[in-house]
Amino acid sequence: MLTCLACIPYLTLKILWIFGSHIGIPDGSELLDHEGLMRVANGLTVLMDATAVTLAFALARSWGRRIPAWLIVGPMWIATGLLAPIVAAWPLDLLTGAASDSGSSAADFLQPWVFNVVYGGFGLQAAGLMTLLVLHVQQRWGRLWRGRVRDLPVLATVPATRMSVAGAAVLAMYPLIVHLGWACGANWFLTEDTDGVSAVVHAVNAGLVVLAIAGAAALAGAGRRTWVGRLDTRIPLAAAWVGSSAVGAWGLWLILSATAFHGDTGNPDGTEGFSAQLVGVCGVSVVVGAILVVTGAHLLTGWRAARTPDLSSAT
């Protein structure tokens, strides 16, 4: 119920915009230059939010446990990735005062109250969905990762798994360095310096890259004989889930956004290069997220095969 109610402000605004309302959009906003494309994008995001409501019902009902895993895990991975950076960055914006100190560029795009209403709804939506997801996966698959990291089955494919995570870590250095640079005020690939809000967002994005690699490395067995091995398996699993989904899903979303809104000129002001270079950063992020999610699926399959005999003998 909380998740469904949290979607109402966002869905209401989107539906109003689809039908031509300009509520919350100031005169001169770039959005008004792409009204047809904006309607398509709003229609897509309405479908995405409707999917979130459907997922909430499925996760909260017993029949949801009969749905194929990929129909739950796939959409929830994307939903987690799109919501996590917003949920983390928005409160930090408010706490640091960055939102009020640098709201001019955002206000040119949408009126400030829109961000507060929508992001507040996203926060409640994320809380509801994540609570339902944790309860669902714990009941359905919790046996696969019970215990501590050092208790996880040692799979024959450990070397290949570690190589995959290492490859993802090397690739992740590119978006990590770029996001850290933007967070520190650099304007690499940009036409103007980042403002306070952008700095917070990019700092969060950099942290999510680190979170993804650290969680995946722990699950792949790195540091198994150190303090990492004493961690509850759910800690690195949650880190890898949130981090990889944020890196991959947001990278893909930004590619689509950059291509749609800036595909003709490369930049809002007509200069060249921004869109291509930004898509390059996001493209690497998508590859990193894809490597980690495939590696995670492989690990879960291996743990399931290794622990099935234990479950059979226990019964």
- Give the model confidence (pLDDT) of 149-207 as tens digits: 999 888 878 889 999 999 999 999 999 999 999 889 888 876 554 555 678 889 999 99
Residues 165 and 272 in one domain: yes
Distance, CA of 127 to chain centre: 14
Residues 18 and 48 in one domain: yes
Beta carbons of 281 and 175 less than 8 angstroms apart: yes
Residue 72 resides in a domain: yes
Residues 136 and 154 in one domain: no
Residues 156 and 219 in one domain: yes
DSSP secondary structure of 4-34: HHHHHHHHHHHHHHHTT--TT--TT-GGGGG
Residues 122 and 202 in one domain: no
Residues 51 and 158 in one domain: no
Residue 267 resides in a domain: yes
Residues 160 and 226 in one domain: yes
- Tell me what pLDDT residue 312 has: 43
- Tell me what pLDDT residue 94 has: 79
Domain final residue pick, 122, 145, 168: 145
Report the number of distinct structural domains present in the chain.
2
Residues 237 and 287 in one domain: yes
Domain boundaries, position 47: 1-145
Residue 228 resides in a domain: yes
Paired tokens of 272? 């060249």
Residues 80 and 154 in one domain: no
pTM: 0.87
Residue 313 resides in a domain: no
- Give the model confidence (pLDDT) of 231-257 as tens digits: 999 999 999 999 999 999 999 998 887
Residue 26 resides in a domain: yes
Q: In which residue ranges of the chain is pLDDT below 50?
A: 193, 264-274, 311-315
Provide the b/e sequence for 53-73 (b: ≥16 CB within 10 Å).
Answer: bebbebbeeeebeeeeeeebb
